[in-house]
A = this chain, B = another copy of it.
């Protein structure tokens, strides 16, 4: 079934193909300039650091709903191993098997395609089994550091968390921006808090996954108008799930990743950050959220740190 006209209309309005040249692979990350990062460093007031990643463990957020996206399974290849003989220094060493998008992660621009295309109009077939993404693999995003702004939608709406059926609208983003007392601007990394992470933290991964609040189909234009560099939130699916429009699956993914070339973050734990921002009365900070440089990957785990 072809994507509806409604989708294609928005797609045209937010499309960034060619904006940074035909060879570009990193989309909106081009918007993060040295000057923007210099200013971002200046937002640091106290030096307080808030980590935003979930612990990586086998009882992570994946429930089997997304086939193959397995929670991290870490095992030891050496355990108090006296490699050089009895009484010598002993080593512990481990390996892991995990879905790159299983935990707190970035979707890279090659994570989805629609109508046979990935970002910048490249054929979907440039992603292959043996090499992954020939273009826009996550390792092309060599750094992801900029000003971060928390749009605490749940707090702005005076809720602990948005209910499962809630599509975060441009109006919600406006309200949260007002609460944040800063204006979202070019090159920002915007973090959107729904509070949904509380469901997982309370021990209910199924309820966390589905049904989930998340971004509305109407938000990509909001991000595009402000030239945001990247957006992350505290849900498994990023966008509202099940979707707002029947049979229109993952439209926000397609608009953000394919049309705009803007990376999306999921499963970020924004609870402590929400508390810290509320206490400080400030919702901007320096954010480092550089993905692990897996060559050809569709996504990557990330251990983001906000410095307030």
- Chain A residues with a Cβ under 8 A of chain B: 1-3, 33-42, 44-51, 53-59, 64, 66-70, 72-81, 83-101, 110-114, 124-125, 127-130, 132-133, 139, 142-143, 145, 247, 249-251, 253-254, 286, 288, 290-299, 301, 303, 305, 307
Contacts and interface: CB of A to CB of B under 8 A. Distances in A.
A67 B114 CA distance: 30
A145 B83 CA distance: 33
B112 A92 contact: yes
Given A3-B87, A47-B36, A253-B89, A130 B81 contact: yes
A87 B1 contact: yes
B91 A2 contact: no
Contacts of A296: 57, 74
Contact of A96 (B47, B98, B254): B98
Contact of A67 (B49, B77, B303): B77
A242 B130 CA distance: 22
A132 B76 contact: yes
Nearest to A83: B249
A141 to B, nearest CB: 9
17 contacts: A35-B47, A37-B48, A50-B143, A53-B292, A55-B139, A66-B93, A68-B130, A74-B296, A80-B124, A81-B128, A81-B130, A84-B250, A89-B113, A89-B253, A94-B294, A95-B99, A288-B305
Given A51-B290, A87-B3, A68 B93 contact: yes
Given A45-B38, A97-B96, A292 B288 contact: no
Given A38-B45, A56-B297, 5 more contacts: A1-B88, A51-B290, A56-B295, A68-B73, A68-B95
Contact of A92 (B133, B142, B247): B133
A17 to B, nearest CB: 17
A96 to B, nearest CB: 6
B100 A113 contact: no
A95 B73 contact: yes
What are the 7 A-B residue pairs with the smallest beta carbon separation, nearest first? A68-B77, A38-B47, A79-B129, A37-B47, A288-B288, A41-B44, A34-B47
A304 to B, nearest CB: 8
A146 to B, nearest CB: 9
Contact of A76 (B50, B66, B75): B75
